[in-house]
Chains A and B, each alone.
Chain A
Amino acid sequence: MTVVLLYAAMLGLAAGTGLSGFAGRGLRTGLALQTAGAALLAVAGFYILATGHEVGAAFTSHLTPRLGVDRQSGLFLATLGVVAAPALGYSSRYLADRRRDRAMASLTGAFVVSMTVLLCARDPVTFLASWEMMTLLPATIILIYRAADRESRSSVFYYLAITHLGGAGTWVAVLLLAKAAAFGPPGVIATGSGLQIAVALAALVGMGTKAGLVPLHSWLPRAHPIAPAPVSALMSGVMIKLAVYAMIRVFVDWLGLLPTWFGVLVLAVGAVSALGGVTYALFQHELKRLLALHSIENVGIIVLGVGACLLLRARGDSTWAGFALAAALLHTLNHAVFKSLLFLGAGSIERAAGSLQLDRLGGLLRRMPWTGAAFLIGAMSIAGLPPLNGFASEWLTLESLVHVAMSGRPADGLYGTVAMAALAATATLAVFCFVKVVGLVLLGPPRRQSVGETNEVAPAMRHAVIALAGSCVVLGVVPGLLVSRLARLAPWPMPGSTIAGLNPPGTGSLPTLAIGLLLAGVTVALVRMRGARIAAPAPTWVCGQEIVPRLQWTGAGFTKPLQLVLEVVLRPRRELEVRTESGVLTEVSYRGEVPNLIDDRVYRPVARWSLAAAAHARRLQSGSLGTYTAYLIGLVVVVLMAGRIGWLG
C-alpha cells in the first residue's frame, strides 16, 4: 500500500514534470499530474506517520544510493505534499502557456522531486546530491522568472554564495558522520567527544544557513520574495523545513546525547532568529519580503522547540523532551501550511491589484472575498491566535520552555524564562505585524483608485488558498491527533494517547476543539443578538473631514510608537528636508527606514575585508609565464623538502 502510493506519487510528479514542458495542452495536463502526485505524496506521508509502516532501506554510511521512508520522513513528505499540491494547482492558472512559464512549471516539478528524494535519501551521496539540487533549482527558476535582470542576478548570487559558504557545514557534518559510520545508527559517536561536537556545530552552521537562522539568514529575505508565488510558497513552506528535518535527524536521532551547552546554544539561536525575523518584518513595507522575514521568525520558533528538546533531554526529562520535539515538528507543519497560504495569497493579490507595496493596497476583502478571507485566516494563524493552528504549536513550544525552567537548576530557570520572554514577545510582535498587514491589504478604503476595481482571481488560484485555510482550521482544532504521533518520533519511549486537544502532563491542557467551539458559538450568538436592526450607515468620524487616501494611516505610522521604543536597538535612519523660499515653507520631504543591523554590521564589513584580501591576493596573479613557473618550482622544492624532513609521513 505504502509502496504503491509512493510510486504513484513519484510517477505523477515525474510525468508531470516532463509533460509540463510541452506546448499546447502539455502545461495544464502536466501540472494536473504534478498536483495529483503531490496530493498522493501527502496521503502516503500521513499514512506512514499514522501506521508506522516503514518501507525501503535503512540509513547507511556506505556511499551507494539507497532510498527508504520512515515515520519522520513520512511527516515531512506529508508536509511537502500538503504545500505542493495547492501550490502546483495554483500554478495551472498562475502560469500561462508560453515558453518561459513552461520551463518554470517543469523546473518547479523537478524542485518538488528533488525535495522528495532528499526525504527518501538513506545514504550520504543521495542526501548531499538532492540537497544541492534543492538549492540550485529554485535559483534557476528565479533567474528564468525575472529574465535574469541585474537585481535578481545579484539576489540569486547572494543566495547561492551564502547558502554555499554556510552550507559547507552540511557537507562537513554529513561526511564526518559517514566517515564515523554514524550516518543513521545512533550512539556510534561517543557522547561529549570532539567528533560529536564538531558534527553538531558543523550541522548547526550548515543546516542553519539553509533554514535561514540568524545570523546566516541574509539570503532568505532576498531570494524568497523574487520567486514566482508557488515557488516562494515551496521555498518558505518546505525547502527551509528540510534543513530542520536534517537538523533533527543529526541532533536528536544520530548524535545521541548532546551536552547541555549545545542545547542552550540552539535555544539562543532560535530566540534570536525569532525575535530578529519578526522585528524586521514589522518595519517592512513590501508584502512578500515581509512574509520572507516571517519565515526566519518561524524557523526560530521551531528551533526553540528543538533547543528545548535537547536541553530537556540532557537534563533527563525525556517526556517533555519528546513534547518539545513534537512542538517543533507541529510548528514545522503548521508554518508550512499558513506560510504557503500567505505566499499564494500574496501572488493572487499581486496579480489582481498589481502591487505588493502595503501602502498602495487596501479594501481587498470586499473586492476579493475568497482570497481575502483565506488570507485573513492565514494571517491569524501565523500571528498565533486561537483556535487556529499557529496557536497550538506555539502553546506547546511555550509549555516546553516552562518545563525547561522547571527542571530544578537556577541556570535552566534563566534559560527557560528568557526563551519564554523571547517567544512571547515574538508572538505579540507577530500579532502587531499581521494586524498591520491585514489592515493595509484587506481592510479600510482602497488606497488607490485601481485597487478599488480589483476582481477576484481565477478559481484554481482561489481554491488553492481556500484548501490551505481549511487545513489551518483543522490543524488548529484537532492538533492532538497529530501531537501524540509526533512525540513518538523521538528515539526514546514516550507515553501517548490520541485525543483531539493537547493534554500533556504538567499543563492545564489545551482542549482546542472545546475552546474553538466556545469561541465560535458565543461569537455567532452575540452577532445574532446584536440584531440586524441597524440605523443607516454613517461615514467614519474624522472631525468632519473626508477620508482621502492621502490622509490614511500608513504602515510606518502604525508601527512608529514601537520603533521609538526600540530606537536604541534598531537605530532607524531618518532624513527630514525642509525647503523654504523667502521665509515661506514650500516643501517638506521625509524619508525613514529601519536598516538591517546584521547586514550593516556583519555582512558589509566581512564583504569589505574579503574584497580587500582578494585585492592583495590578486598581486600573485601577475600574468607573466615566468612568475608562474617560479611558483611551480618553488612548490616542487617545498614538497621535496617536506618529504625529505618527513612531514609527509
Chain B
Amino acid sequence: MNAPAVSAGVLEVVGGLAGSPLMVGAIQHWKARLQGRRGPSPWQPYRELRRLWGKTSVDVSGTTAVYRWAPAVIAACAVAAVVIAPVAGSGPNLGFGHDFIALVGILALARFAAAASTWDVANGFSLMGASRDLTVAVFAEVALLLALAVPAVLSGTTDLAAMIAATAGGGPWSGPALPLGAVAFAVVVEAETGRQPFDNPDTHLELTMIHEGPLLEYAGRDLAYLQWAAAARHWVLLVLASELFLPHPHSAWAQLGLLPVELVLLCAGLALTETLVAKMRILLAPRLLAVAAAAAVLGVVARETGVR
C-alpha cells in the first residue's frame, strides 16, 4: 500500500471516529457567533461526551434488550459508515467495500434501532420524534440515493472511491449533471444531519423535536454513544459532500490536503443556513426533499443526454 492510501486510511478512521464531534462543536460555535452570542467553545461536544461517560445509565423499567442494545447498534452503524465512506479517491478498502448503497442501508439500520427503542420505552414524545423522523426519512433516503446516483452514473460504478476519482478535476463540472446532484445533496445533508430547515438541533421542547426525541429516555454512556453517532453522521455526509460534490483535484495528496478546508467551509455553511433559515413545517419537508430528488433525476438524465 502506498503512502497516500495509508494517509487516507488513517484520516478516514481517525477523523471519523475522533474528529467528528469537533465538526458539531464548530457549527454550534460559529452559529452562536453569527447570532451575536459568544456560545460554547468548539470543543464542547468532547466535554459533553466525557461528562456522560462518567455518569451511570438509568434503565427504563419494563424495557427489553431492544432498548439496551439500540444505542450500541446505532454507534456500530456509525462506525461502519465511517469505514465505508472514503476520504479520497485513493482511500484503501478496509475489507468493508466503499459501496454507497451499502452505506444507505447501514444508515437505515441505525434509524430502525432508534425508532424501535422508542416503542420499547413507550414515551409519547420519543415516539413522536421517531414517527416524524421516519416520515422525513422516506423522502430523505430517496433523495440521498438519487443524489449519490449522479456521480455513480458519471463514473460508471457505485464504488465511492472510484466515484471520487471520476469526479475530480474540472471536467465533470462542465455539464449540468454534477451541479444538479450537488443541489440535491445539499438538501439531503440538511435533512440527514437533522438541521434546519428540517429539524432544530438546539430545541429541547418535546413537541418540536425530531432527532432528539428518541434520545429522551437515554442517559450516561448510552447517551454518549448516541451523541457520538450523530456527530459521526455529520462526518460521513460532509466528507461525501466535499469529496463528491465540491470541486477537488486529481492528486491524492491534494485531495487529502483540501479536505479539511472544504469541511470547514461546509460547517460554516451549515452554521449560516441554521442562522438564516427558519424551521419549516414538517409536512412541507417532503416537498423540499422531493424537489431535491427530482433535481437528481434531472442530473442523471442530463448526463445520459450528454448536455454540455
A contact set with B: CB distance below 8 Å: 363, 365-366, 376, 380, 383-386, 391, 394-395, 398-399, 402, 405-410, 412-414, 416-418, 420-421, 424-425, 427-429, 431-432, 434-435, 438-440, 442-445, 501, 506-511, 514-515, 518-520, 522-524, 526-527, 529-531, 533-542, 547, 551-553, 557-562, 564-565
Contact = CB atoms under 8 A, between A and B. Distances in A.
Nearest to A441: B119
A627 B139 CA distance: 65
Contacts of A425: 138-139, 141-142
Contacts of A535: 56-59
B185 to A, nearest CB: 15
B108 A431 contact: yes
Contact of A402 (B75, B139, B158, B301): B158
Contacts of B76: 518-520, 522-523, 526
A520 B216 CA distance: 25
B304 A412 contact: yes
B53 to A, nearest CB: 9
Interface residues of B, number: 88
Q: Which of B125, B158, B216 has most chain A Cβ within 10 Å?
A: B158
B121 A395 contact: no
Nearest to B64: A365
B13 to A, nearest CB: 12
Which secondary structure dominates chain B's binding surface?
helix
Contact of A508 (B59, B63, B69, B100): B100
Given A542-B123, A561-B131, A523 B293 contact: no
Contact of A428 (B59, B130, B142): B142
Given A365-B65, A365-B66, A529-B221, 19 more contacts: A386-B102, A386-B109, A391-B105, A413-B301, A414-B300, A417-B149, A418-B297, A428-B108, A435-B115, A438-B119, A443-B116, A506-B158, A510-B99, A511-B96, A524-B72, A531-B57, A537-B63, A542-B125, A553-B119
B134 A552 contact: no
Contacts of B98: 508-509
A515 B96 contact: yes
A547 B112 contact: no
Nearest to B122: A444
Contact of B80 (A427, A515, A542): A515
A424 B145 contact: yes
Contacts of A432: 134-135, 137-138
B141 A511 contact: no
Nearest to A388: B109
A507 B131 contact: no
Contact of B95 (A418, A431, A514, A558): A514
Nearest to B130: A435
14 contacts: A380-B109, A395-B99, A398-B101, A405-B300, A408-B304, A413-B305, A421-B142, A509-B159, A526-B75, A534-B57, A536-B58, A553-B122, A553-B127, A562-B134
A537 B59 contact: yes
B158 A508 contact: yes
Nearest to A279: B138
B79 interface: yes
Nearest to B140: A428
A443 B146 contact: no
B243 to A, nearest CB: 14
A557 B132 CA distance: 11
B179 interface: no
A445 B122 CA distance: 7
B77 interface: yes
Q: Closest 3 CB pairs between A and B?
A: A439-B119, A508-B99, A508-B159
B267 interface: no
